[in-house]
Amino acid sequence: MIHSLSGGIIADYENLIYVFVAFESGEKAWYISPFPQINEGDCVLAPLGRTSAKGRVTRVENVTKQTAPYPVNRAREIEGIL
């Protein structure tokens, strides 16, 4: 992370793992994965609405905050790999 002289952050290049999850209900959404060993095809438990649901990972992306497919401050994390 690089700081400016005024104390603000110029850039943050932290690596994140984003996964695109398809649920049995037909809904699809992007999530951040705290698990580095996640792969396409894995079954996961992820928040969906006010509950959690089982879904399948259809895409895995290694990104930074600047290249994330969904805003980091609005993305939720998957809860576990099943």
Beta bridge partners, 57, equal 21
Would you state the pLDDT for residue 10?
Answer: 55
- Give 35-73 pLDDT, tens digit per residue: 999 999 999 999 999 999 999 999 999 999 989 999 999
Mean pLDDT, to the nearest integer, of 12-41?
94
pTM to 2 decimal places: 0.83
Q: What is the pLDDT of residue 13?
A: 74
pLDDT at 3 over 80: no
**Per-residue b/e over 18-31, b at no fewer than 16 CB within 10 Å?**
bbbbeeeeeeebbb
Residue 62: count of CB within 10 angstroms of its CB: 10
